[in-house]
Structure 1
Amino acid sequence: MQERTPILLLEDDMLLQQSLANFLRQQGFAVHCAANLAEARQLLRQHPPRLLISDVSLPDGESIDLLNDVEAELGTILISVHDADQDRIRGLSAGADDYVCKPVNFDELLLRVNGLLRRMPEPEPDGIHFLGFELDVETRVLSKAGEQVNLGEQEMNLLLRLLANQGQLVPRDRLEHCVYGNVCDDAWKRRRAMDVLISRLRRKLTIDGVTDNRIVAYRGQGYMLVRD
């Protein structure tokens, strides 16, 4: 499964936010958007990004305050209406990797994004982030906000198959064979067991106790794990 580079875009000007987000998505990036520091902190936990692009001045503070909370491996580009030397120095001294002045030239920003990504070390390949969860493929451990989510062997096999085809319909018979192999020849029992297994996995793929339709059922066809 090829993953797009995840970016968190923090901008309270909604017109600029949507325009820039659409532009970055067209360039192949996976973009999550926030309009204030509170939303950004939540998204940093739920969808850890590779890169943060943030306006300096926000309704509930300055994004410079956020830089103390982010991982050192996270690349950061600040954008601001303030173009004085002392403003640039302040942002870079706080830990930002780059500083761009408004109005933002999207093509120039893209060059800065790609340049920063080239300079950054490659992330470890053993972790997959999806829907607010992290899966360590090597150890087969699923976690949410740093807490382990206990999955049985069949639940893990089902999740791996759905993840390998995230955003695509996986036929029911392929899922049944992946999970049960040739252990059970009774078609009705296999279907019933798969229904129960899907239900259990759905309950475990929750955020803040809210169960939504992360695993979509296509009647008579199969299931799909939704994209972020």
Structure 2
Amino acid sequence: MRILIVEDEAKTGGYLQQGLSEAGFIVDLVQDGLDGLHAALEGCYDLVILDVMLPGMDGWQILQRMRAAQHSEPVLFLTAKDSLEDRVRGLDQGADDYLIKPFAFAELLARVKTLLRRSKQLQPDNYSIADLTLDVSKRYAMRSGKRIHLTNKEFALLEILIRRPGEVLPRSLIASLAWDMNFDSDTNVIDVAVRRLRSKVDDDFSPKLIHTIRGMGYVLEIREE
């Protein structure tokens, strides 16, 4: 699972990134509020750990912009302010939990796991667009009532696309989510995987759903033919 940390204190941010990485998470660290907002809106994260006091844009503003953009991933606030007013403000604006600095890493890790479990329970198991259906829990895909047999990577790729219909997903994001690797512009592994998935999902059906956006990435959507 992927976690975004927005924390301007380099020592604290590095400590959290290392600890959560050792706990098995994929962790990105950003130290500026504006960069944090961009990462939260453009990335695909299961959890955001957000400091309140940040350069460029504070945590309150980032949270407001995330929720206004319909980003519902859980947010854990970190703050040095131990006041009821601040905690209520954060929860009212859509934060899911609140941790006061200084804190023990074990407590943060426990809260992270709790938030991720709760978020996973709220996520739908079934996705559909046009006549394509994906059942995540049962691990099968169907189109026009016909079962589509996918490899594990093809299933992961289709799940990434169908969870964000109509959104152009860059190759770099697909690489990090499906392959847990940094995107290398010299490799065509993403393009090959999409071609194989498209041959199973689109070639024998209409309308076509997987589209290439030249120079940008791929999108799953219904287009008029």
Same fold flag (TM > 0.5): yes
Q: 1:93 to 1:31 in 2, by over 3 A?
A: same
149, 160, 167: which one aligns with 1:146: 167
Tell me, what secondary structure is at the counterpart of 1:69?
A: helix
Aligned-partner Cα distance in 2 for 1:113–1:94: 19
Aligned-partner Cα distance in 2 for 1:31–1:145: 26
Unaligned runs of 5+ in 2: 128-133, 135-155, 183-187, 197-211, 218-225
Indicate whether 1:35 and 2:36 are aligned.
Answer: no
Aligned to 2:84: 85
Aligned to 1:55: 51
- Which letter maps to 1:51? L
| Structural mapping, 1:55-204, within 5 Å | 55-70=51-66, 71-120=70-119, 121-122=122-123, 137=158, 146-147=167-168, 167=181, 204=215
- Which letter maps to 1:59? P
Whichever of the two has the greater Rg, that structure is: 1
Aligned-partner Cα distance in 2 for 1:89–1:47: 27
CA drift of 1:47 comes to: 2.0
Q: Which moved more, 1:99-108 or 1:62-71?
A: 62-71
Q: 1:87 to 1:124 in 2, by over 3 A?
A: same
Q: 1:147 to 1:53 in 2, by over 3 A?
A: same
CA RMSD of aligned residues (A): 4.1
Aligned-partner Cα distance in 1 for 2:97–2:52: 12
4, 10, 21: which one aligns with 1:8: 4
Aligned-partner Cα distance in 1 for 2:158–2:216: 17
Q: How many residues are treated as equivalent by the alignment?
A: 159
Deviation by residue 1:152-191 (Cα, 9 ceiling, x = unmatched): xxxxxxx99xx976649xxx9xx99xx89xxxxxxxxxxx
Tell me, what secondary structure is at the counterpart of 2:81?
A: coil
- Which letter maps to 2:53? S
Q: Is the 8 A contact 1:8 1:31 kept in 2?
A: yes
Deviation by residue 1:55-113 (Cα, 9 ceiling, x = unmatched): 10111232111112223421011010000111111111111011000012110011111
Greater relative CO (CA pairs within 8 A, separation 6+)? 1
TM-score normalised by the chain length of structure 2: 0.57
- Percent identity between the aligned chains? 28
Deviation by residue 1:14-64 (Cα, 9 ceiling, x = unmatched): 110011001001111111111122111221244221111011011123211
Unaligned runs of 5+ in 1: 128-134, 152-158, 181-200, 207-228
- Which letter maps to 1:87? D
Q: Is the 8 A contact 2:40 2:48 kept in 1?
A: no
TM-score normalised by the chain length of structure 1: 0.56
